[in-house]
């Protein structure tokens, strides 16, 4: 006789999911919230690109920005991206499981929403 372990999911149990409009609302809210957090690694990535272009002679920046060397930029963006991914990936995975959206819909929408606050708030100032 095969007895199921206590707390083991039964084959008949279905996971409850949010209705489709609430799933999209959760995706949008979480995406914009994480997008605000994503602004910081994206700004540092742009500054790193500008510092690399300055080092190659393609752009001009304030020399005091790179007094400590260009490698500091790479350390900063690696740390910021790692911190962002350690926060964003688990939150999105948990929220995605609570909705009836497909993985493709959820992750593409989330990725676009992560970039939106940066594109609206920070990019115009960085392109001057």
In the chain, what are the domain boundaries?
24-55+69-126
The answer to whether residue 25 scores a pLDDT higher than 90 is yes
Torsion, Cα of 57, 61, 66, 70 (10° steps): -50
- What pLDDT does residue 127 have? 83
| Start-to-end CA span in the chain (Å) | 73
Please report which confidence band the pLDDT of residue 101 belongs to, taking 50, 70 and 90 as the band edges: confident
Report the chain's mean pLDDT, rounded to a whole number.
Answer: 87
- What pLDDT does residue 66 have? 81
- What pLDDT does residue 9 have? 62
Structure tokens at 47: 């500054």
- What pLDDT does residue 13 have? 62
The answer to whether residue 118 scores a pLDDT higher than 60 is yes
- What pLDDT does residue 18 have? 82
Structure tokens at 48: 């790193």
The answer to whether residue 2 scores a pLDDT higher than 80 is no
CB under 8 Å to 26, separation ≥6 — which residues? 18, 95, 98, 99
pLDDT in tens, 30-83: 999 999 999 999 999 998 998 899 889 998 888 888 888 888 889 999 999 999
């Amino acid at each position: 006789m095969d007895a199921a372990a206590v707390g083991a999911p039964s084959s008949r149990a279905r996971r409850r999911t949010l209705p489709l409009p609430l799933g999209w609302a959760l995706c949008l809210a979480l995406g914009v919230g994480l997008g605000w957090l994503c602004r910081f690694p994206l700004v540092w990535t742009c500054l790193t690109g500008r510092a690399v272009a300055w080092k190659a002679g393609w752009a001009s920046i304030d020399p005091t920005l790179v007094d400590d060397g260009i490698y500091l930029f790479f350390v900063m963006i690696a740390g910021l991206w790692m911190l962002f991914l350690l926060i964003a990936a688990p939150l999105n995975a948990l929220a995605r499981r609570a909705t009836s959206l497909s993985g493709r819909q959820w992750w593409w929408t989330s990725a676009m929403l992560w970039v939106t606050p940066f594109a609206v708030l920070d990019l115009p100032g960085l392109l001057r």
